[in-house]
Chain A
């Protein structure tokens, strides 16, 4: 019997995995092609940096350009570069960054990852919890003043661009009131150490960027949850339960469990893409995250760095996706039993 239940489940997971791997390759191929389709010179930033410091010397720039073209294999035909990229990838080698030469792309990204996760994971979770709670309450009290307040303010807040909110927070709390710092992950001049004062300093710098992300994200979650709750409240099983005379709180518990499923998907995807950082938030708060590195790599057309970031980022999103699929299969018997045999 156990065998019977497990087989479709494994088949389902196997198929998901196969498609994930396939789409993953398509995705990284696109990531390989796209930056190269831009008719720009990836060495432009480096060359002009050399040209502007001290005297510009045409021979020297030609020499550097020639050396670097060979170094990065940019003079090779595209297919050779692609084969190179894939074979290196299998060896776990993401290549050398152009802009941060001779650092390995992975070494460039690594120091930024903890900062970004530190900013985005708590912010995403908190926004998710608050947003869902608000939305559920509002949906449950449909038509009352609570619903009105939550719905209207959520609509407004969810439409605010999060970077604008960030700028607003900087303007009010850092520039005008001077309560919070305007930039950075910790105070200028402090050198990171594992001490209470450093941790407090980091938290102090953390508040504004954290708030800007949380506030902007709450609205979206709340609106979504509210709608789901309303739908579920109209469902047959709810009406049946109410008619049976169940307590409101018990009915709500059933409803809440049902609406959680799609919201968990959303959360997982959000956490998966957290590695990409909050690009503009990181820029305006001068926060050392992967969003900033992504921005740098794109604006300097650093092929290898762009590739490395996206290879990791897509992997994280796909992993999150897969975990969701996995959880779904466990939580939802319809998927576990039904789809295995079907299409």
Chain B
């Protein structure tokens, strides 16, 4: 009997061994030629951009845009494009590099660009999705020149530039046969065979299975003569099932370049003496990724009173939250919603007014429970026997809930701290941590009391992008209907007018005045309360690769490996033991590089007829 069981057991083992290694390929990626990323790839889908979310790497390494935008230097790196020309105030022509070609040798032409835009509109998903809201036409002037004309009824320079320049281009000769079969064929295209992939970037898929997705460098890449080649021969992306496993791997040096939340990161170099770096050596360690706010929905009538909102704003323990729950990974946000960590955006903040209004030297809110209580007392909210206030028309202030998705430990702790302080000023606030999809539904449908959520980040359209996502009445939808944006359902037509004017102006002075106007309204109504700048996760373990940009050597934005700006990082690093060489082309044109400042493009448009 036992012999039989053993036999069966061995049989099962043998069979599974035969099934498991289903593919036969080369045996390994050499460690000193492979950069391993962390936190970029959690699942693999397709390597086609006509997908709601293609596999990480498709956008970053395989398909290139005409110009690649860089946050930190607020400039545009000409990749497929070579130069631009403003024909008139609404028309931009882009010259495509004569060298630009697909990996199968086919030249990359204006036809590819025109085709990409048309296909996205036809399919409804894909690169540059939504471009038709801002761009009237995309036309090939000749084989290497493409012309974009802005819609006269939706003048919005930032969105126009973003769509025209930053859209990833796909090969017409690959996609056209699918398009002829119909939209579904385009959507079903997995593009998962490395041998058949036709790309414009310096990498393409090398190998993929449920454990890893690896990209391999194309050594005869068309851009070699202009940009050189990225240094790592391979980019390996382990598909981690869990954050803690990923973090442990990073600690062990198995991953080089991360873009994840790692608790207490400085302990890795201070206590464990590991060659780990973030952008800054000290707090806040990271650059900001965007503005995170406390959204207070207009759904609950008790929370509509600006006085209540103002009292809440004073009750929030801003600094304490960042220190205790966030390991100091971000700075307190400026109440104007402008990310003041970047020098370039200071011009858009009415500092004098902020200082006057909030009564602090830096114009930021200071936690002051007494003041918060005073505001509520004055507004007629009397405390009941249980310590909870009652509104002037006799309604108990609560229970309210403050929500973030379950498992977001840092944000969960912040919610607990905010709830405690709000309770201290007489508002009955409880925390609730629903599943992500439930939280998302409530957030996008406006059916919540308080939600901690994000908005937008630094970019060529900042701070306009934040005002628009948070406040724009054009995004207003009734409670219970899905809308990404205007989550709290603030409906102020005056704000809408300012936001539209801002998008349409090329005059820096006008822009400034409009921003100042907006800030007065924001302080008065407090539709949402800016809390802090969420960190743009960026951590490197230099056990195998050195030369990653840091604040001390800021040659490129500290881009998470998953970000659209990731690629140039790979050109300036080197295997340990070798000296990294920063490519000259990452610098602005004025310093001998290729990077075109956003202002140059805007002023060219404003000077054109």
Residues of A within 8 A of B (CB): 38-42, 44-68, 71, 99-103, 111-112, 114-115, 117-118, 121-122, 125-126, 129, 175, 182-195, 197-199, 202, 282-288, 292, 295-296, 299-301
Of residues 46 through 88 on chain B, the ones whose CB sits less than 8 Å from some CB of chain A are 46, 51-53, 59
Given A59-B133, A64-B52, A284-B245, CB of A184 within 8 Å of CB of B238: yes
Complex Cα distance, B17 from A118, in Å, reads: 8
Question: Is B106 close to A, CB under 8 A?
Answer: no
Q: Is B352 an interface residue (CB 8 A)?
A: no
Shortest CB-to-CB span from B34 to chain A, Å, is 6
Contact A102 B484 (CB under 8 A): no
Known: A114-B22, A190-B28, A191-B25. 13 other contacts (CB 8 A): A39-B438, A54-B166, A56-B469, A63-B129, A125-B8, A125-B12, A183-B249, A188-B236, A188-B254, A189-B28, A189-B29, A194-B24, A286-B240
> Are A202 and B242 interface neighbours, CB within 8 A?
no
Contact A53:B562 (CB < 8 A) given known A114-B16, A125-B5, A202-B20? yes
Smallest CB-CB A-B distances: 8 pairs:
A40-B437, A44-B440, A58-B485, A67-B124, A60-B130, A118-B16, A288-B210, A59-B130
Q: Which of B355-363, B385-393, B454-462 contacts A (4 or more CB under 8 A)?
A: B454-462
Tell which of A56, A182, A197 touches B456, judged by Cβ atoms closer than 8 Å: A56
Question: Is B597 positioned at the interface, with any CB of A under 8 Å from its CB?
Answer: no
Q: How far is the CB of B190 from chain A (nearest CB, A)?
A: 7
B contacts with A, residue count (CB < 8 A): 88
In contact, B28 and A183 (Cβ under 8 angstroms): no
Most buried by A among B27, B439, B483: B27
A99 to B46, CA, bound (A): 11
Question: Which chain A positions have C-beta within 8 A of B265?
Answer: none
* B254 close to A58 (CB less than 8 A): no
**A66→B454 CA distance, assembly (Å):** 22
Do most interface residues of chain A lie in helix, strand or loop, or is the interface mixed? Answer: helix
| Chain B residues whose C-beta falls within 8 Å of the C-beta of A198 in the assembled complex | 21, 27
Contact status of A193 and B52, CB under 8 A, knowing A59-B130, A202-B20, A299-B435: no
Q: Among the listed B16, B123, B130, B241, which residue makes an inter-chain contact with A286, where contact means beta carbons less than 8 Å apart?
A: B241
Q: How far is the CB of A108 from chain B (nearest CB, A)?
A: 9
Nearest-CB residue, chain A, relative to B457: A55
- Judging by beta carbons under 8 Å apart, are B563 and A41 in contact? no
Instruction: Report yes or no: A41 in contact with B441, Cβ–Cβ below 8 A.
Output: yes
Partner of B437, one of A44, A60, A125: A44
A121 lies within 8 A of B12 (CB): yes
Task: Kindly list chain B residues whose C-beta atoms are within 8 Å of the C-beta of A39.
Answer: 438, 441
Measured in the bound complex, the distance between the Cα atoms of B26 and A325 in whole Å is: 47
B46 near A102 (CB under 8 angstroms)? yes
Contact B190 A102 (CB under 8 A): yes
Q: Is the CB of B162 within 8 A of A55?
A: yes
**Subset of 16 A-B contacts with CB under 8 Å:** A39-B441, A40-B436, A41-B440, A41-B441, A41-B444, A42-B437, A54-B563, A55-B456, A58-B475, A62-B483, A65-B484, A117-B16, A190-B27, A202-B20, A284-B242, A286-B240
Minimum Cβ distance to chain A for residue B159 (Å):
8
Is B484 a contact partner of A61 (Cβ separation < 8 A)? yes
A192 and B484 form a contact (CB under 8 A)? no
CB-contact partner of B52 in A46, A189, A283, A300, under 8 A: A46
Contact B238 A188 (CB under 8 A): yes
A100:B436 contact, CB within 8 angstroms:
no
When chains A and B are docked, how far (Å) is the Cα of A164 from the Cα of B444?
37
B481 to chain A, nearest CB (A): 11
Cross-chain contact B441 with A102 (CB below 8 angstroms): no
B248 and A183 within 8 A (CB):
yes
A41 and B434 CA atoms in complex are apart in Å by: 12
Q: Judge whether B13 is part of the interface by a CB distance below 8 angstroms.
A: yes
Chain B residues 1 to 51 lying within 8 A of chain A, measured CB to CB, are 2, 5, 8-9, 12-13, 16-17, 19-31, 34, 36, 43-46, 51
Task: State in angstroms the CA–CA spacing of A301 and B28 once bound together.
Answer: 35
B15 vs chain A, min Cβ distance (A): 9
Give the distance to chain B from A145, nearest Cβ to Cβ, in Å: 25
Contacts of B441 in A (CB 8 A): 39-41, 44
CB distance from B339 to the nearest CB of A (A): 13
Tell me if B207 is interfacial: C-beta within 8 Å of chain A.
yes
User: Of B27, B211, B245, B484, which is within 8 A of A62 by CB?
Assistant: B484
Most buried by B among A117, A192, A299: A192
> Is the CB–CB distance between A193 and B25 below 8 Å?
yes
Contact of B211 among A55, A288, A295, A301 (CB under 8 A): A288
Question: Which chain A residue lies CB-closest to B207?
Answer: A191
Cα–Cα, bound, A287→B254 (Å) = 16
Chain A nearest CB, measured from B279 CB (Å): 19
Q: Which residue from chain A places its CB closest to the CB of B485 in the assembled complex? A: A58
B267 to chain A, nearest CB (A): 15
Q: Please report the C-alpha to C-alpha distance between residue A175 and residue B211 in the assembled complex, in whole angstroms.
A: 21
B residues in contact with A121, CB < 8 Å: 12, 16
